[in-house]
Amino acid sequence: MDFSLTSRQRLLKEAIREFMKGECDPVVTLELAKKKQFPWEIYKKAGQNGYLASYYPKELGGQGLPLLDYCLVMEEMIRYDNRIGMALSLGSIPAKTLLRFGNEEQKKKYLPRLTKGEAVSSIAVTEPNHGSDIRYLETRAERKGDEYILNGNKTFITNADISDFYTVFAQTNPDAPAYRGISGFIVEREQEGVTALDLGEKIGLRTTSSCSIEFRDVKVHKNNLLGKENHGFTYIMEALNEGRAEIANEAVGLARGVYDRALLHTKTREQFGQKIGKFQNISHMIVEMSEEIESAALLAYKAVWLIDQGKMDVATSLQAKVKCTLTAIDVSLKAMQIFAGYGLFEEQFIAGYLGDALASWLLEGTGQMQRNTVASHLLGKL
């Protein structure tokens, strides 16, 4: 069993670090966060360098890399600057249902713009009355001839106000049993009847928006049906379980980034005539942070490695997402203690890492719901 990175992976991480150093002026990225602006310029440059959605096949503009390599790219970006790294990573993850279940015509039309950094996408599942509970959806898609008429509301949709397109999930058979009457559709933001509005200020993911979307008599051609009608719940779950493994690796990037800053502060900050790292309480917190990160990273890497081997394990992906996001939160809180009052200022990055860590716990399902699923896998029927 070899835990070392390959030479390609090491070179890739080095290249990403140099890219981020050259593109991410902390003064500029802080202004982007304060103004809630997506970092389009850096996003486009990352696409030109082949760093976005690099696990996509080459015919769709990707690099054909293993998912683990892509996750190492995202981890390194987020580690260097969470404001930019999280925005770049969330630009293509929502299109995973299209990548996995779309037909060739659909994929070639929409996905290459994501890899080039020319567009972002959103997935629209969550509704005001349906967060964790998506057995049924209130958004309806009624078939009329060659079109579906889409009506309903979605909420907490990342980047919906700037996305080129959404993968929208709606109820196509209201009379079907739970989970079986949902279908997916590709809907362009500029279509008539689509309205996306930013929900307001939030403490995490500041360079991405969180939006509500209203669909009012939106006409969706049958060619934009994603996969088979009434199979949408399966598509959601398969894509989310893979996405959750990616979020676990993003959380590792958050944890490493905030740890790097805490470690440097511990080595340079002086109180009572000595470096604060000489105080046992501080030094033990640094050790605990390192222990947590390394154990979480192993689980995160295992989760995506299994996906690369064609052996995705739902329980492992969910455990990784829960463990890694909790680790990012805990490490950020420890860093806040080490920085003390300085940690409250956004210029130090600590508050931003904490906000993103808290948001990651909620992304693609809360940790509590994911633990329910893992419990059912571990315990079976009792």
**Catalytic residue IDs:** 364
Helices (H), the chain: 7-23, 26-34, 40-48, 67-80, 82-89, 96-101, 104-110, 112-115, 232-268, 280-308, 314-339, 350-362, 367-379
Residue 83 makes CB contacts below 8 A (sequence gap 6+) with 24, 29, 30, 32, 33, 39, 206, 207, 352
Q: Is 3 helix (H, G, I), strand (E, B) or coil?
A: coil
b/e code 146-177 from CB counts within 10 Å (16+ = b): ebbbbbbbbbbbbbbbbbbbbbbbbbbeeeee
- Give the count of alpha carbons within 13 A of 259, CB side only: 24
Instruction: Residue 251: name the closest of 94, 15, 88, 79 by CA.
Output: 79
Cα–Cα distance for residue pair 77/85, rounded to 1 Å: 5
Instruction: Residue 58: name the closest of 120, 111, 19 by CA.
Output: 111
Check: CB of residue 220 under 8 Å from CB of residue 189: no
Sign of the CA dihedral running 82, 83, 88, 93: positive
Check: CB of residue 344 under 8 Å from CB of residue 281: no
Give, as one character, the DSSP assignment of residue 342. G
Query: What element of type H or E holds 165?
Result: strand 165-171
Q: How many CB atoms lie within 10 A of CB 339?
A: 21
Check: CB of residue 60 under 8 Å from CB of residue 112: yes
Instruction: Residue 231: name the closest of 184, 189, 270 by CA.
Output: 184
Q: Is 303 helix (H, G, I), strand (E, B) or coil?
A: helix
